[in-house]
A and B are shown apart, each in its own frame.
Chain A
Amino acid sequence: MGLRGTAAIAGIAEWKPQRRPAGPHQFMLEQWADLARAALDDAGIDPREVDGICTSGLRESASFVPSTVAEYLGIPVNFAEFVDLGGATATGMVWRAAAAIELGAASVVLCVTPSMPAPPPPEDAVRAPASRYGASSDRWGSPQAEFDIPYGNVAQNAGYAMIAQRYAHQYGYDPRALAKIAVDQRTNAGAHPDAIFHGQPITIEDVLASPMIADPLHLLEIVMPASGGAAVVVASAEVARRGRNRPVWVSGFGEHLAFKTPTYAEDLLRTPIGPASRRAFEMAEAAPADVDMVSIYDCYTITVLMTLEDAGFCAPGEGARFVNEHDLTFRGDFPCNTHGGQLSFGQAGLAGGMSHVCDGARQIMRRAGEAQVRDCDTAFVSGNGGIMSEQVALVLRGD
């Protein structure tokens, strides 16, 4: 059941995340074209071979995004997706692309997540109304508008903090282990020149001394928003094998979601990555022990800790011990987020999720430079949207 692993990531492109990018800025459609071209060039695939696209929200268009993108690129497609899974959008795009290719619906699918600022609009331009509450919808009739926002449960920090508090109540809490996740990833960023915190190592003490934002989350355990963009090309075996890179086969995937606001989770401590990962490993006929590196969505340190447990790398409640007993750096016995993770690479909108796909693909392509994990053939990649509400797992493999 599921994928046979005959579609591969054949090319990747990633812009260096920036805190405040200098202009001139581009529209997201323009960024789409640039990123698409870069990823196709990386793969060695002619743009005229593209016959599928996976899109997400565009600042320029509230609806009809796929047809707008196809028209702008001048590329007719036989497969068009609009993926709306927050931080799981990128991983969600990749398995959808692979599935479409295995079905024969397409042979080359672009998955693109642009996230740079737009040019400053003229005074009278029609702009998308900005949500005042981030990922929480304040529109009339939205459950979030009626039952969550009015109590101040908005944005991400409070939600993740409440998950961490519940975790602490259930299993106990080792702040130093959580901090070590951020520290090891910062070490990885030191080996990745594009990481936003490249060359700025930190210690566990630095993390614990950073301001408490929402108990028990410290500032250095919380991802920093940035601007950037990323793209991958997923291609059929026939196309991928004649490309420039070692094909990165999409061997397994799983996706699971049940709620938007974690208040309504059946069990706050059983995250959707559990069922998603079990499906992904089963499909790939692999086990967590077979993995050479992991790239785990890390909006917060607690997300990494709970993903390690729920994806089966260690038992529930054992995450802190696992982190303390393993070296999570690219040199270590359990390489995790070798690009620095979003905590140290930077979170450029939905491209933050794509950074994990690129991290896993780069390792299997053997292009990770100083951060290369030796003999890396199997990678586990996770995506996480909302407040651990929508999660996707991928198992990627080299030949």
Chain B
Amino acid sequence: MPDRPLPQPTPTSQPFWDGLRQGRVLLQFSPSSGQWVFYPRNRAPGTLAGDLEWREVSGEGTVYTFTIARRPTAPAWAEDVPQLIAVVELDEGPRLTTELVDVAPEAIHIGMRVRPVFQDEGPVTMLRFAPA
């Protein structure tokens, strides 16, 4: 199987990936603006406030949009079609790129409730989603 690229955590994002390893979803929160933030940053987007703190969330959300990639998006996924690529909106508001698992392609729909699935891949744990 071709090597799929894995995330390389950075000093800023490490708590997020550490959380996934433990089966927890940690998001950054900016108390001064009341906004939840994804992906991890050193300052809050928009206000550039330096008050981001990590908080644990349920990781549940809804499918905001998705596609069924019937041709591989890059050679690394040549053996993984169809790819079920999605944008999930977490209940706190932030959206993230992910893949859907444990679901038939034809059953996917926008607005579908999903729950996090933690999948260890080598040194990191990927955050994918399955129907809730």
| Interface residue ranges, A against B (CB under 8 Å) | 132-134, 138, 140-141, 143, 145-155, 157-158, 161-163, 165-166, 169, 211-215, 261-264, 268
Contact = CB atoms under 8 A, between A and B. Distances in A.
A153 B85 contact: yes
Interface in B83-108: 83, 85-87, 95-99
A396 to B, nearest CB: 34
A158 B4 contact: no
A157 B66 CA distance: 12
Contact of A214 (B5, B69, B75, B95): B69
A152 B86 CA distance: 10
A73 B85 CA distance: 46
A218 to B, nearest CB: 11
Nearest to A150: B7
Contacts, number: 109
B67 interface: yes
B126 A263 contact: no
A155 B68 contact: no
A265 to B, nearest CB: 8
A214 B126 contact: no
Contacts of B111: 169
A173 to B, nearest CB: 12
A141 B10 contact: yes
B64 interface: yes
Given A162-B66, A169-B110, A145 B99 contact: no
Given A148-B97, A163-B65, A263-B95, A155 B74 contact: yes
Nearest to B71: A213
Contact of B5 (A138, A165, A169, A261): A138
Interface of B: 4-10, 13, 39, 64-71, 73-77, 80, 83, 85-87, 95-99, 110-111, 126, 128
A215 B65 CA distance: 11
15 contacts: A140-B10, A148-B97, A150-B5, A151-B99, A152-B99, A158-B69, A162-B66, A213-B69, A214-B67, A214-B68, A214-B69, A214-B71, A215-B68, A261-B97, A268-B65
A162 B5 contact: no
Nearest to A139: B8
Nearest to B95: A263
B41 to A, nearest CB: 9
B97 A147 contact: yes
B70 to A, nearest CB: 6
Contact of B70 (A133, A153, A213): A213
Contacts of B69: 152, 157-158, 161, 213-214
Contacts of A161: 67, 69
B10 A152 contact: no
Nearest to B127: A151
B90 to A, nearest CB: 12
A20 to B, nearest CB: 20
B66 A165 contact: yes
A212 B39 contact: no
A147 B128 CA distance: 12
B85 A162 contact: yes
